[in-house]
């Protein structure tokens, strides 16, 4: 399993899409840091940019990173089907469930680490603005624990998103299936449910993700779940999608 994991890890890290995603995010971070620095011009009696506001910044930037994690997971599996790499991999690792499990573990691990690193880079790029034109007051141990929780929970949701994306791509045998389902769900299904079936809101991915990452269930009264309960719902979705994908991969023809 170790060899299989390392092999899949090298394949994922070697993908051009992953590299371009990292470059794109870093470019956005750099541009955002410059804009914040230029526009932060506190007047008399004003504080300017407070570094303690990074809590809200990290919560807000979790959404695009989770979407990118979904795309990364979908592409990781979808490109294998389109290029015929799945068939090649099965010639030296015939145990399909083992191969799929390695892909899930690799994708979740890379997404988790990548989420952490990119968010830390964002914080470091905004720190000079707080030092020069704002304030770093309030960086207590309690604040560190709070933002640490935000980053851990955000990385967990990103990992869940990548697993669901790659599971849909495994069933659909291409990247477009996962991207299409994801867009339809976010743009249509969740909006439809909120408007016409509000009793189903506690089961929506987006609302449970909001409760989990903010750790403030009172901001999502329609969900009616605690932070831990919403996290377990998201984990259940990841397990269900992965189980269906594994079952489909186990029995289907790959030629």
pLDDT, tens digit, 9 for 90 and up, residues 244-254: 999 988 887 66
pTM: 0.90
pLDDT of residue 136: 83
Asked whether residue 25 is assigned to any structural domain, the reply reads no
Residues of the chain scoring pLDDT < 50? none
pLDDT of residue 5: 76
Asked whether residue 29 is assigned to any structural domain, the reply reads no
Phi, psi of 254 (to 5 degrees): -105, 5
pLDDT of residue 64: 92
pLDDT of residue 189: 85
pLDDT of residue 254: 66
Count structural domains, the chain.
Answer: 1
pLDDT of residue 70: 92
pLDDT of residue 96: 84
Asked whether residue 246 is assigned to any structural domain, the reply reads yes
pLDDT of residue 218: 64
pLDDT of residue 160: 95
Asked whether residue 177 is assigned to any structural domain, the reply reads yes
Asked whether residue 38 is assigned to any structural domain, the reply reads no
pLDDT of residue 50: 85
pLDDT of residue 22: 93
Asked whether residue 28 is assigned to any structural domain, the reply reads no
Q: Which domain holds residue 185?
A: 2-20+53-251
pLDDT of residue 44: 61
pLDDT of residue 90: 77
pLDDT of residue 192: 85
Rounded CA separation 42/211 (Å): 33
Asked whether residue 39 is assigned to any structural domain, the reply reads no
Asked whether residue 41 is assigned to any structural domain, the reply reads no
């Amino acid at each position: 399993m170790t060899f299989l994991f390392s092999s899949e890890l090298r394949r994922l890290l070697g993908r051009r899409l992953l590299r371009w995603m990292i470059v794109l995010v870093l470019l956005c971070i750099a541009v955002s840091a410059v804009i914040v620095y230029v526009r932060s011009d506190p007047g008399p009696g004003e504080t300017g940019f407070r570094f303690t506001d990074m809590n809200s910044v990290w919560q807000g930037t979790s959404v695009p990173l989770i979407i990118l994690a979904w795309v990364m997971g979908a592409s990781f599996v979808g490109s294998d089907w389109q290029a015929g790499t799945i068939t090649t991999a099965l010639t030296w690792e015939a145990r399909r469930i083992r191969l799929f499990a390695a892909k899930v573990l690799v994708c979740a691990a890379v997404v988790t680490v990548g989420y952490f690193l990119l968010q830390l880079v964002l914080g470091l790029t905004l720190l000079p603005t707080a030092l020069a034109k704002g304030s770093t007051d309030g960086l207590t141990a309690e604040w560190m624990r709070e933002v640490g929780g935000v980053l851990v929970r955000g990385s967990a949701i990103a990992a869940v998103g990548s697993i669901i994306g790659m599971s849909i791509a495994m069933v659909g045998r291409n990247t477009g299936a996962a991207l299409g389902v994801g867009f339809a769900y976010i743009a249509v299904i969740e909006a439809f449910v909120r408007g016409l079936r509000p009793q189903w809101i506690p089961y929506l991915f987006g609302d449970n993700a909001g409760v989990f990452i903010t750790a403030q269930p009172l901001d999502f009264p329609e969900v009616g779940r605690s932070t831990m309960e919403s996290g377990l719902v998201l984990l259940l979705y990841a397990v269900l999608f992965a189980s269906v994908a594994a079952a489909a991969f186990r029995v289907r023809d790959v030629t």
